[in-house]
Amino acid sequence: MQTLRPSVADGVALSYSADQKSFQPLATAPLGGGSLELVLDDRLSQRLKPQYAWWLRAELTGQGAVTAVRLTTDLQTSLFGLPELELGSNQVSYRDAASAPRRVRVTQKWVERTAWQRPPAPAAPVAPAVGATIEGTRVRFEWRPVESADGLADYHFELSEHADLRWPLSPNFEKYVSHTPQKGTASYETPFVGLLNPGQTYYWRVRARSQAGVWGPWGPVWSFRCAAPGTPLHVRLEALEDGRRYRLVWAANPAGRAPVAYRVYGSNEQGFTASDEPYVVDFGAGFCRDLAEYEARMADKSWRRQVTWPGNFVTEVRGTELVVAGPGLELEGANRAFYRVVAVDAQGNRSGPSDYAELPRPFIASLPPATAPAGQPYTYRPTVVTSIGHLTSKPGYLAAYWEREEPRWRLLEGPAGVRLDPSSGELTGTLPAGEHRLGIEVTTPAGSARQEWTTRIE
């Protein structure tokens, strides 16, 4: 809410901008003294369109003057980004775009809490030891508990690849411990394997917060390294000479320990999480074809917010290739749209999962019957590999499984009496004795694939 109180004047015109370049008119104050109150909720930070900065411009006409401006704005931000005063020196600045002389008074008010005491900094790490090289990349950080006269409420943990900790390595490495599974302890554990690189030096520190809400100073900066294999490189799918099968190929990462084995994971979900066990994902609005379907699901509220996906481990191999797609493969987890690879060293430490390799799609992973008895219904339902979609967010924070590939089938060639279901691809009919040429085609947003064959009816 913005309130302006012009004195007796000809008028004042108000406009606002989201980029300080293009200004949109808001209102013009009536002539004479008085006040003008505007509510800008419908213009600033509209639903699904967050606004992080904005500018208000007042243009005076005639001999008018603005004697007071009051701005009331709700601010939503990360706890880590809230402005606050700190013990010691604080610098607060004011700026505007006015070119004419002006008089500005800035008043700062705060509350002194002389009875409160800052908790001390953590004195020393428990694990990892300073400068140590530890096994694996999923690390549990521990430090000596801090004692505070006002009681201890929380710890703030930071890790960076920079010795001065100029910024955290990722959001996983700037945490309030009270918001993690390690709540109430002097520790923090990374949630996944592979968030850290082997052989690289990392730096971390901790500070404590009292029950009164006072943060203590940062503790010393401690360092460590991880020993593990590097993430496999150049992961890709290559077509074999028969044109019906694909093999997954990758290369060992020169960084880190030499791998002794590789674990392969496969899924029809783009961007899937490599997991040995079932895991829970936020389902968003589920599988959505377009914005209209998304909005219908949001209004219905019957869609599930979380689902449990099964584990997607395929197999473990010693080499750097594996045939994963094609008709007749007995490999569990064969014929998936996407694959990842994880390296394993002699100590059993795993790397993080590779980027995914993508099977050309749609891919027909079955073979039709070469022969069939005369006088009997002929049936063939092809197996096709497609993507179930990508759990991502479209502009406006619209989280759902987008870009799901729904196959459509058509008959290219076949004798009279043969029918093809355009949704399932199932081919049915009664064929006379002899040889018959058949052909089908499947199409998805990713492309199309054909299958042509000769069937003998005996």
Residue 299 is predicted with a pLDDT of 80
pTM above 0.85? no
Shared domain check, 360 and 251: yes
**HSE value, Cβ hemisphere, 13 Å, CA-based, for 49:** 7
Residue 360 domain flag? yes
Residue 440 is predicted with a pLDDT of 96
Residue 65 is predicted with a pLDDT of 66
Shared domain check, 221 and 135: yes
Residue 340 domain flag? yes
Last residue of a domain, one of 227, 257, 283: 227
Show the domain range for 316: 233-364
Domain count, the chain: 4
Q: What is the pLDDT along the chain (458 residues), one digit of tens a residue?
A: 444 444 444 677 888 888 888 998 888 876 565 677 777 777 777 666 777 788 888 887 776 666 676 777 666 666 666 667 777 788 877 777 778 787 777 777 777 778 888 899 999 999 999 999 999 999 999 999 999 888 999 999 999 999 999 999 999 999 999 999 999 999 999 999 999 999 999 999 999 999 998 899 999 999 999 999 999 999 999 999 888 999 999 999 999 999 999 999 999 999 999 999 999 988 888 888 888 888 888 887 666 678 899 999 999 999 999 999 999 999 999 999 999 999 999 999 999 999 999 999 999 999 999 898 988 899 999 999 999 999 888 887 788 889 999 999 999 999 988 999 999 999 999 888 899 999 999 999 999 999 999 999 88
As given in the structure block, the two tokens for residue 151 are 């009681």
Shared domain check, 131 and 26: no
Residue 215 domain flag? yes
Residue 70 domain flag? yes
Last residue of a domain, one of 227, 243, 265: 227
φ/ψ (deg, to 5) at 441 = -140, 140
Residue 101 is predicted with a pLDDT of 82
Instruction: Judge whether 125 and 157 are in contact, CB under 8 Å.
Output: no
Residue 19 is predicted with a pLDDT of 85
CATH of the domain at 379: 2.60.40.10
